[in-house]
Amino acid sequence: MSIPNEALQKVVQEIETRAIQSQQQIAIVKAQITAKQRETRLLELTSKEISTLPKDTKTYEGVGKMFVRVPLSTIEKQLSTQSANMKSNITDLEKKLHYHETTHKNTRENIEHIFKSASRA
């Protein structure tokens, strides 16, 4: 059974488009992971610095154009919550990255398979 040349070309073009889209998504997700890892590191450093402060230290949080006094324990809780959220986001992005890498690999394999089949015919 032989596939017409135009149909084969159309299928290869669609698969190539999917491969390119997956490759672009891989680059985007990697950049997002890097940014989230950087934010996580900043949160960890900030948390480490705050943990060395005495418990009676006056701390303030920026609200618009003003600063409001906030207990040190509240800031520590906020930082730990943000850090946990970042780690969760990174895990989700890593799953997304794995999906796009698998899709890209499969599309490349499909293209190779089509070319091998076409060369045999």
> Would you mind telling me the total number of residues written for the chain in this entry?
121
Structural domains in the chain, sorted by start: 5-119 (1.10.287.370)
Dump strand ranges (E) for 2-120.
59-63, 66-70
Among 45, 46, 83, 41, smallest CA distance to 61 is for 46
Phi, psi of 61 (to 5 degrees): -125, 135
Q: pLDDT 10s digit of each residue in the chain, 121 long?
A: 456 678 778 888 888 898 899 999 999 999 999 999 999 999 999 999 999 999 899 999 999 999 999 999 999 999 999 999 999 999 999 999 999 999 999 988 888 887 787 676 6
pLDDT digits (tens, 9 = 90+) for 6-38: 877 888 888 889 889 999 999 999 999 999 999
Q: What is the pTM of this model?
A: 0.80
